[in-house]
Structure 1
Amino acid sequence: MRGDGSTPPRIPGPPVRGDGVEAIVAAGGLHNYQLELHAEYGPVVRFPLPGADLAVSVADPVLLEATAAINKRPEALFEFLTPLQESGNLQTLPAEEHIPWRRVMLSVLAGRPSHEAHFARFAELTSRTADRWADRAGDEPVELQKDLSELSLRMICEYALAGGLEPEEPGRVVAAFEDVLTEYLARLYQTDAPGTEDERRARAEEALTFLRATVDRVLAAYAERDDGPPERSDLVAALVAAGESPARIRDTVLMTLLAAHHTTGVAISWTLYLLARHPDAAERAAAEVDAVLGDRAAPDYGDLKRLTYLDMVLKEAMRLYPPGPYGAREATEDLTLGEYTVPAGTTIFYPFWAVHMNPEHWPDPEVFDPERFTPEASAGRHRLAYIPFGIGPRSCEGATLAMVEAELVLAMLLKRFRFRPAADRTITPIERFVLWAAEDIPMHLTPR
């Protein structure tokens, strides 16, 4: 009941039939379903969501402001990640645990000292990938997602674990994460996955055992090092100094590896895909890289702030293909969203893709236009119209690091190659924890 005695209107949405799985599958995934819902019902939609009963999805950045301070995620919706963690699901930690843990993470992941400390090593790892690609140029196309996810994993292992993996292990780690997520996402959404139920469960358990053993081995080797006092660039040292338990440290490393290698590799892949489809933008980005780098193969850390057009290209790519296509919070008190009232306990769904395609804030939203991110254009836009890393106290702790990694990799690859899409392949975005291309993104390379 409102203060004037009237009853607030009911939030619009589709007829409730079961838990929503059938409608999500029919739409081609939850990300597509959100676009359809908001196109039909408007900026605030009520819909059935597996693991959350009825949820309220908000695609208007102005209305999102009312939710920005919420520090609680719905536990059931993130339950599929619980098997990866033994000290408590890091995605759903209570606020009193989450706040100090996040503070430690940000002290390292968001800090310039840690970025500069690892920058040369990131460039070296990128150079190795580029060298392998150069050996294959003119032959079969490279698979961007596969190779760039492995590169991102090597970079985050260097960052979080000071290296520590054997040369063949990153590929195995990527595959293991895929096996675990395929199984637990299939359970959440009650969808089909390859193999029988017993085969999938056994494969997921074997993959999880491998992941934990790999991190345990690297952490044990790390503990035996004698490198002097911990620095602000060392994630594990920061967690140890904060008094986190060994189990929490392992869980944090595992979750960091999972989130970082998926999101950064995918963001770079979609950016190269869009540049390959827009040669004028690709030439402009490459010309900027040439002007900033000169004869150097890699930028210095300080060069990144001079790659302004490349930064705009990356942001526009993440608008069109946000690596994480959605997020969620749980209302801890009654909320007012425009003319609607949302009761405490409701799952608030953040459809990043639908927010980024909102035509009231993004004219011609399907058009690739990096000029949307000039300082002038950005200054006139609502701050929550662009949210690839989420919002508020549960936003991505690694956002700044991800941008540093992505811009470094893009600069080095654009310096060395021109990219041309494989003509016989259709690129279809699908939901796989991140916004993945169903059959990768094959790309022909031409050395520059």
Structure 2
Amino acid sequence: MAEIPGPEPDADGGGAAVAAAGGLHAYQMRLHAAYGPVVRFRLPGAESAVSVADPVLLEATEHLDERPEGLFAFLDPFFETGNLQVMPAGEHAPWRRLMLSVLAGRPSHERHFPRFTELVTELADRWAERAGGEAVCLQRELTTLSLRMICAYALGGDAVDPERAVEAFEVVLTEHLGRLYRAPGRERDGGERDGEERDGEERAREALGHLRTVVDEVVTAHRHGGAGGRSDLIRALVDAGESPARIRDTVMVTLLAAHHTTGVAVSWTLHLLGRHPEAAGRVAAELDRVLGDRAAPAYADLRRLPYLTMVLKEAMRLCPPGPYGARRTTEPLTLGDYEIPAGTTVFYPFQAVHLNPDVWPDPEKFVPERFTAEETARRPRLAYVPFGLGPRGCEGARLAMVEAELILAVLLKRFRFRPEPGHEVVPVERFVLWAADDIRMRVVPRTGP
């Protein structure tokens, strides 16, 4: 077997290299550019790690059903019954089946579609009033919208204060994710810096307390026949005999994952369409043809918008909301010419897979036509993995696509989006692929096809 290429081990276990690159995602991209589609490295939380950007080789890892605990430890504070992101395979399988029975079900999607449409329309109406004025901050506003949508779905109603809930998620994630790859020199050394860290921890505790209170109130209402009874997810968890703490943990992880994924995916899509007006024109023409004078699609209309779906998929290829996934081998694994030892963390660097030039010609170009049925059939099955793969892939993938397609259909039927002059969009790694100073765009009402 060949030796897996990679950098020489750092004395600090890789933390400095990750910090210097601007995050783990950026570091992996650098490694693949330097060493090829399979690379070994070290980092805190995963002493032995291998990153795989070859979609054919990924197939040999698809069965893996364990996640490295250290890598996801920053999420521990969210959970009372144990970190749901790293639950053992035996416990995870029935939990996943339950989640899929709700989140992947068409009847549930159709039942909530009218409320989703109301929420998107409310946002579009607010933007119409501001058209021609100040630029819209897409990621902030669309993340808030997607949180309201998942609250309607998972909680059976609106969050009491969705903007505060979004802010609370950001406070907790920023504090705990920041500890994972703390740059050298950031260790506690007493004095002012120590006080700043204590303040950050206190803000995170308060924010987490707020989130738990919101979810607890809805679960309690459900058990007493209140508004929470409209939640398919909570009802399924209660019917399955899950404990109140596990129900709360499950709802928390659903809100966490869903509010980021949809809002971020739509914001990057609108950003790319703003830079490619010809593609934006094709989407608008398709919407006019399918919807006519209607301002929003019905659920069945989504299947009649293939070009809009291709645009969304191409945007998620270039800017996958979650930059990477990770699994842990429990026994030796053969990966092409390489032997992966048991206990190794295997990384799925989604963007590196999506930009692999052996699979995607001119990989950095925005070409929605890559996702015609004919082109898709020519590629390896795992060449496109924005929602992960295998038994730990995203349970809410189909729901996220329904939400994103609806949001795009409503917004692009009513508006054109233009880049804000002088505003530079800089991707940065957080829990998702974010923009350093948001994505600011001008919203222009459509006056014709």
TM-score category by the smaller chain?
over 0.9
What residue number does 1:282 align with? 280
2:356 is matched with: 358
Letter in 1 for 2:198: D
Tell me which residue corresponds to 2:27.
33
CA contact (8 A) 1:165 1:218 kept: no
Give the one of 240, 243, 259 matched to 2:241: 243
Report sequence identity in percent. 67
Q: Could you tell me how far apart the structure 2 residues matched to 1:212 and 1:53 are?
A: 33
What is the deviation of 1:36? 1.2
SS of the residue 1:302 aligns to: helix
1:171-207 alpha-carbon deviations (Å, 9 max, x no partner): 0011001110111111111146998111111111111
What pairs with 1:252-401 in structure 2 (closer than 5 Å)? 252-401=250-399
CA distance in 2, matches of 1:164, 1:428: 32
Distance in structure 2 (CA, Å) of the matches to 1:288 and 1:22: 49
1:111 equivalenced with 2:105 (yes/no): yes
Confirm whether residue 416 of structure 1 aligns to residue 414 of structure 2: yes
Aligned to 1:5: none
Equivalent residue for 1:87, pick from 81, 84, 98: 81
Q: Give the Cα–Cα distance (whole angstroms) in 1 for the partners of residues 246 and 158 of structure 2.
A: 19
Greater shift, 28-37 or 266-275, is seen at 28-37
The aligned length equals: 437
Q: 171, 180, 185: which one pairs with 1:179?
A: 171
Match of 1:150 in 2: 144
Residue 29 of structure 1: CA displacement? 2.1
Which letter does structure 2 place at the counterpart of 1:207?
A
Following superposition, the deviation at residue 365 of structure 1 comes to 0.4
- Are the aligned partners of 2:262 and 2:400 in contact in 1 as well (CA < 8 Å)? yes
Q: 1:12 matched to which residue of 2?
A: 5
Root mean square deviation of aligned Cα: 1.5
Distance 2:219 2:430 in 1: 28
Is residue 152–residue 261 contact of structure 1 (8 Å, CA) maintained in 2? yes
- The whole-number CA distance in structure 2 between the counterparts of 1:421 and 1:68 is 39
Q: Distance in 2 between matches of 1:153 and 1:223?
A: 23
Pick the aligned partner of 2:125 from 131, 147, 162.
131
How far apart in 2 are the matches of 1:19 and 1:163? 45
**2:195 matches 1:201:** no
Distance in 1 between the 2:376 and 2:177 partners?
A: 36
TM-superposed CA distance for 1:224, in Å, is 2.2
1:164 Cα deviation from its structure 2 partner:
4.2
Partner of 2:222: 222
Q: Aligned partner of 2:430: which letter?
A: R
49-58 vs 246-255, greater mean Cα deviation: 49-58
Contact 2:157-2:227 at 8 Å conserved across structures: no
The superposition leaves residues 333-376 of structure 1 with CA deviations (integer Å, 9 ceiling, x where unpaired) of 10011111001110001100100010001011000000100000
Alpha-carbon separation, structure 2, partners of 1:23 and 1:356: 23
Aligned: 1:99 with 2:99:
no
Spell out, residue by residue over 1:107-130, the C-alpha distance to the aligned partner (whole angstroms, 9 max, x if none).
010000000000010000000000
The aligned counterpart of 2:162 is: 170
Deviates more, 1:421-430 or 1:55-64: 421-430
* Partner of residue 435, structure 1: 433
Match of 2:405 among 381, 397, 407: 407
* TM-score, with length taken from structure 1: 0.95
Offset at residue 433 of structure 1 (A)? 0.7
Secondary structure of 1:54's aligned partner: strand
Cα-to-partner distance string for 1:151-178 (whole Å, 9 max, x where unaligned): 0000000001111422xx1000110011
Q: Is there any run of 5+ residues in structure 1 with no aligned partner, and where?
A: 1-7
Question: 1:188 is matched with which residue?
Answer: 180
